[in-house]
A and B are shown apart, each in its own frame.
Chain A
Amino acid sequence: MPTTAKAHAAPTPVIMLDNARLALKSADGMIDILKGISLTISAGESVGILGPSGAGKTSLLMIMSGLESLSSGTIELANQDITEMGEDSLAALRRDKVGIVFQAFRLIPSMTAIQNVAVPLELAGNREAETLAQVALESVGLGHRLTHLPDQLSGGEQQRVAIARAIAPRPQILLADEPTGNLDSATGENVINTLFAAAKAAGAALVLVTHDAGLAKRCSRVLHIEDGLLVHDSAVHAS
């Protein structure tokens, strides 16, 4: 019975960290940024990461996007061990499996909204890149802003273009770093709604780094990071 099977199927893990450590070089020698974090995030989950400044939240997000390499431990993204993966392979993995939303939007200023959204699809060689980009923009309510350049859009609209760009390739993982940090509260609320809806529609795991505990609580799971250590996992706590 398909429905029964679906109801009892175990959630698919899309991010798996095992004793992940990150140490970076500084003028004073090596600094331990992440001190052995182990966790699993499954498809469809929404995870909020909280913690004070310098705790290692953003570093954890960079590890999860394959932008930073572990000093020790292992990491799997979308069932692929990326611990030893080369830079171009990681780029291809990000292109196909990981969507990222930044606090500062990071749109390409010389490209229109639709061109910005089409970039990852074009990189993947998708011949329908522009059509799919248009669909993604319509899905975030920007069907009327397709040919606008970033500086012709409001902050909230820019962030929604960034969300459309992140979800357009249908990633399994959606990472967001303080996505409302540059927006006023009303616009931020609107953007967060869009982000959650987009992640749900794509069936992607949403990982959200934030300082806002209220925002984190909207996630199905909350992680607390302090001094490079995972000090609280609501999923573990609940179980």
Chain B
Amino acid sequence: MKIELTRQKVHNEFAKKVELISGQNLFACYQCGNCTAGCPVAFAMEVGPHEVIRYTLLGLEEEALGVNTFWLCASCLQCTSRCPKGIDIARVMDALRMVVLRKKERKDHIQIPEFPEGFLEKVPQIAFVSGFRKFLS
């Protein structure tokens, strides 16, 4: 669990990409955890949003992208509305999604063929339109 930090590693290309897509300054985060404390789906996350931001800042791309945190984000904006440093955490979560979905491999997070029987008919289109935007590459 040891990491070696160098100036190249901190705030590396991965972190810069996340900042660019989200438009947020990750250095502003002082890890207060308010986002995690108020997140309605954090109970199901492997690590809270504040931790993923920490991984990103330290340039730990594999760790940051390897957790389910940002996939579970419902973009409810509760974190954003309460961040004392004014960071739009929901944008950071979406940026992490985009980083994965835009990779060359084009791996979708959900697989439509795997939907249960009748799912497509039952669920309203509003859920599919927003869901597909968040989960499909």
A and B: bona fide binding partners: no
